[in-house]
Amino acid sequence: MDDRKERATKTETAYRLLRRDILTARLMPGAALKLAMLGEAYGVGWTPLREALSRLEAERLVTAVSNRGFAVAPVSRHELENLSRARLVVEVPLLMESVEKGGSDWEEAVVTTHYRLSRCKTALEDPSDAAIDAWDECHEAFHAALIGAADAGWLMRFRATISDQLRRHHRALSLTPAVRAAAAGHKGGSEDAMAALREAQSIGSHTALMQAALDRDLERTKALMIDHIGFTLNVYTRTAEGGLELMARPAAE
């Protein structure tokens, strides 16, 4: 392998590892991304790391801090609300088109991904990183399958970007504090957050959405999808009202 190919491979490795840890909130929003620390954690040199961080900055997952290097991009309720609105604008029309055009292959993909999601434990059933990652992946696969018959490449790319940003906002603002509160046995103010998280990850709501789509019931599918998009914001609202936001902070802080 020549030097350019080797560097490109190392850059890609650094990019994928950093991106994974940012999206799953293992690297929390606002955290400083120091090259020495990252190099030790990922076993990658400074040059590939800088190139990977520049790519992530272009994706708005990382911010450059003047004279201080890079940090994980922040999250906020305002951004979460904007992302939820963007998902409504982009994903609902894709879903409607997919329901209208989808054939037997689309139906099979929807049923298969729903089954895989049904086999996953929710965050309240198993709060381990591995279980939460597995649920996230299956959940994303299910929604990708639902819109899979739409013929709109640019909208699909926009939707993927929105989905990634929503995933890390949900992890940092809602899921992490709610799960930590449950693990710590917090009672005051946490019950509503737990109930909202349970509803958001319930297989029942996903089953209803799948059935409406397979029945080609456009109005019901649209209504259920709009409700579904509101679940993430509802979990955050209940988390904030319960005073659990600080539970999202890493224990070392």
CA distances from 201 to 83, 124, 195, 215, 245 (A): 19, 9, 10, 23, 20
Q: Which helix (H) or strand (E) holds 123?
A: none
Question: By the 8 A CB rule, do 214 and 128 touch?
Answer: no
- Amino acid 173 reads L
Dihedral sign for Cα atoms in the order 125, 131, 136, 142: negative
Tokens of 180: 């930590």
Intervals of the chain under pLDDT 50: 1, 246-253
Tokens of 201: 């990850």
Q: Which residues contact 104 (CB under 8 A, 6 or more apart)?
A: none
Please report the pLDDT score of residue 29 as a whole number.
93
Which residue blocks in the chain are alpha helix, DSSP H? 3-23, 35-42, 46-58, 77-101, 104-118, 129-146, 153-169, 176-183, 191-201, 203-214, 218-241
Please report the pLDDT score of residue 249 as a whole number.
47
Q: What is the CA radius of gyration of the chain?
A: 19
CA dihedral 205, 209, 231, 136 (to 10 degrees): 80
* Global confidence as pTM: 0.86
pLDDT tens digits for 82-107?
999 999 999 999 999 999 999 999 99
- Amino acid 202 reads S
CA separation for the pair 162, 140 (Å, rounded): 12
